[in-house]
A = this chain, B = another copy of it.
Amino acid sequence: MDIIFIGAGNLATHLSQALQQAGHRVLQVFSRTEESASCLAALLDCPFTTDITEVLPEAEVYFFCVSDAVLQDLASRLYAHLRRVALVGSPCRGAGALFLHTAGSMPLDVLPTLRRGVFYPMQTFSKSRPVDFRQVPIFLESQTDMRMMELLARALSQQVYRLDGEKRRYLHLSAVFACNFVNHMYDLSARILESHDIPFSVMFPLVDETASKVHSLPPHEAQTGPAVRYDQNVMERHLDLLADDPQMQEIYKLLSRSIHDKL
Contact = CB atoms under 8 A, between A and B. Distances in A.
Interface of A: 10, 67-69, 105, 122-126, 128-129, 131, 135-137, 159, 161, 167, 169-193, 195-198, 200-229, 231-234, 237-238, 241-242, 247-248, 250-252, 254-255, 257-259, 261-262
A206 B211 CA distance: 10
Contacts of A180: 223-228, 259
Contacts of A187: 218-220, 223, 259, 262
Contacts of A129: 213, 216-217, 222
Given A178-B210, A229-B67, A233-B68, A222 B183 contact: yes
Among the interface residues A131, A137, A196, A219, which one has the most CB atoms of the partner chain B within 10 A?
A: A219
A262 to B, nearest CB: 7
A174 B193 contact: yes
Nearest to A216: B129
Contact of A213 (B124, B177, B198): B124
B206 A186 contact: no
* A contacts with B: majority SS: helix
Nearest to A10: B224
A222 to B, nearest CB: 6
A206 B242 contact: no
Given A180-B228, A182-B210, 9 more contacts: A10-B224, A124-B206, A124-B225, A135-B205, A135-B209, A169-B241, A173-B192, A179-B207, A251-B254
Contacts of A252: 176
Contacts of A191: 262
A179 B206 contact: yes
Contacts of A212: 208
Nearest to A11: B224
A223 to B, nearest CB: 5
B122 A225 contact: no
A125 B222 CA distance: 8
11 contacts: A129-B216, A170-B192, A170-B196, A173-B238, A180-B226, A180-B259, A181-B255, A182-B182, A183-B219, A184-B227, A184-B259
Nearest to A228: B180
Contact of A175 (B206, B254, B257): B206
Contacts of A238: 105, 172-173, 176
Given A123-B205, A211-B211, A223-B180, A173 B241 contact: yes
A9 B257 CA distance: 23
